[in-house]
Structure 1
Amino acid sequence: MALAPLLASGDGRSSPSSTSGQVAAGDTCESNRFTEDGECCDLCPLGFGVTVECGKTNTQCKACQEGVTFSALPGTPCSPCSLCPQGIQVTGLCMATQDTQCNCGDGFFLNVVNGSDPLCAPCSSCGKGLGVEWECRPHWDTKCKACPAGTYSEENSQTETCLNCTTCQESEVQIRECTANSDTLCMDKKLMILQRQGTASPKDSSRRVDPMESETSTYPSSPDFIPQEDNGKNIIPVYCSILAAIVIGLLIYVAYKCWTSCKQKQQQQLAKAHASELSCSPEGEKLHSDSGVFPDTHSLQETQQLKGNKLESRLYLNVAPQRQEEIEQLLLDTSCGKGWRHLAAQLGYEQDRVDIFGRGEDPVHTLLCDWSAQEGTTVSALYAALNRIERSDVAVALSRPAEASSVV
């Protein structure tokens, strides 16, 4: 660094003036700081600490005390020597130019916090959009800085700096601009797509056609390959549409399987009920053939079951439709007590399922039909549930035998 000439003193001897540190044209100041007189501020060398900051006068330095204080960076004050944490190996003693060297291991550094004991801490990583300004060392952590314009960083790293953005070539088209978090995305213009001439867009129709090409093309709807250019980003919606169609297809398939499973279960319940009716029909036919009375089908079925079977083994599916309608009407009338929602809770239904029934036109009928399709849905179970919600009027109607209309 070029310095200004020395000024002569009164006795003829030369002494350094206050302008001895002024920077000549074309030179640079290492500290990038200046005194009020324009003098370049000095940096204290390693092993010397700053005692007076540069301002009105130049920087004043003092040697650090060996084994007590140190200054490992230029222009910093002397700092007290660190003590390695208990159990950490000491690899170097504290000197004027370096702190005590502690072996914290790879990926760790000695974290010295004012007013507390030093601890070994893991090295930090610079995230996306940040580059490493200096790497982690035994006595300081990783320092990161934001990637400036024209650079990027796409990964977390303890060593990588910001990288220069890629520039697309003339044979490529830019799909995405470079940001601090990601590089430029380029695509080759020569990628081809299949498109018919009959469906070409106005932009494609303005393309110059080669006369030889028109002669060799026999059919106007024959496919033609054209450069993709700026239409490359239109492929993404196509992929999204295909994925949505697959998801919708899976949902339809699952709904269909659930529906068929419910239908099979209901058919099994109806088959069991029909088999029970067939097992009791000979006795009933004999009884009424001897008396000469022929009741209707539903009355005969209820009479046979009340006479030949106990209430506990009787299925709700076998209750006459007229009786089921009477029970449903009573449950809809909440003026006499608790309604069908309380019954649904007693039958083991969750609140969200009950709300689904409530959105229908006939929630009571839907509830009892769904419940009767399950196994073990006997009249006695429904009778007990009605008693628990204190609807004895409905329970009496359920257990009351049906009146049989007969023709002699």
Structure 2
Amino acid sequence: MAAVQLCLCILAVKVVLGEACEKFRNTGECCSMCPAGTGMESSCGHEDTKCQPCQDGVSFSDSEGLAACRLCVRCPMGISELARCTTTQDTQCDCGEHFFLRRDGNSTSGLCGYCNICGKGAGVVRPCSPLGNTVCKVCQPGTYSKERSYVKPCIPCSRCGQDEVEIRSCQPDSDTVCMVKDLNILSRPSSSDGPREFPRWPTMSKEMDNRSSASPDSGDPRLTPQDLGGSNNILVYVSVLAAVVLGLLLYVAYKCWKSCQQKQALAKARVGELNNAGEAEKLHSDSGVFLDSHSLQDSQPSKGSKRDSKQDTRLYVNLPPHRKEEVERVLAEGGSRSWRQLANTLGYEQDRVDVFGRGQDPIHTLLTDWAQQEGSTLGLLCSALTRIERPDIIAVLTSTTQGMSVV
């Protein structure tokens, strides 16, 4: 019993002195931590912690702790190595901008994952790099972050000046809101008696003459320079509000107009495809030469040299199966990173991309899912492929194939 009380007393003293430990020995003393470059061989109990050095190029430990050495990770196929594994640092791989090497537990195989974005109300503590994913932290009192970012930390909140009053305090996702104290909107002379009234504008010249000739003791409210200034401020605020509302209405009208134009373009493209299909049937019945729908659709890209492939309004879902298979095969040659970049460029969230990656054929799943969406044209796909620098796939989409066969 006395030994237990002694251990508790020693622990209390160390906590008060700021020497709290992660683990204690049976005697109440702190267990020694294994420094970086070494890992725990056996945990402490009756004896202190035993550490052993990590093997260069095989295992590592990048921080002090009570854990064993971790195995070095290998870069994915097709990804170059930036720095080899040492006893204090894991392997660094060149996954590209906004990507990092992700590993599961102590596995030696790694995958290039998309970097996290710190949302509103959180700042970047450590930006995404070959060393690891983005580290975010909620903004502490006195700081804020009002935008999503890969690199920006929380910034200090603003302070209202001496001539300002705080309307809303600083929040993690917004700065302090201040307003000038004396706006003179409803101000009255300090010598006036009675309840405060709103300023009133004269409507006739006769009324103005009456007000100008009224005696100071008549008790009628008279317009003062402060009243005129306050009324002007109200007119300015109303004018600004009207301009904002008008701007919003114009923006909504513009968006509706653009949407109608896109729908009309898609309708024209579909009508053109139906007309081409009718011409193919007529050719088959008249000349005995069969022109299948696949070759008919393949003949359209032959005009790609005369027009920009990014303006192609044909739908991807109407491509012949063999052309889709060729696109998927060429895209697969770029590895996992290539189709993931295409998915992000097409607007897919990272969680959805990871779901595709767990399937047997993620590229086919991605393109099939995207083709079911409205507006999935070849022009949009070519634009996305241009952004990820895959002109070889654009060439497959716009290449000319012969689809004529004699029956």
Question: What is the TM-score when the length of structure 2 is the normalising length?
Answer: 0.43
Which structure's residues are more often helix, by fraction? Answer: 2
Structure showing greater Rg? 1
Question: What is the TM-score when the length of structure 1 is the normalising length?
Answer: 0.42
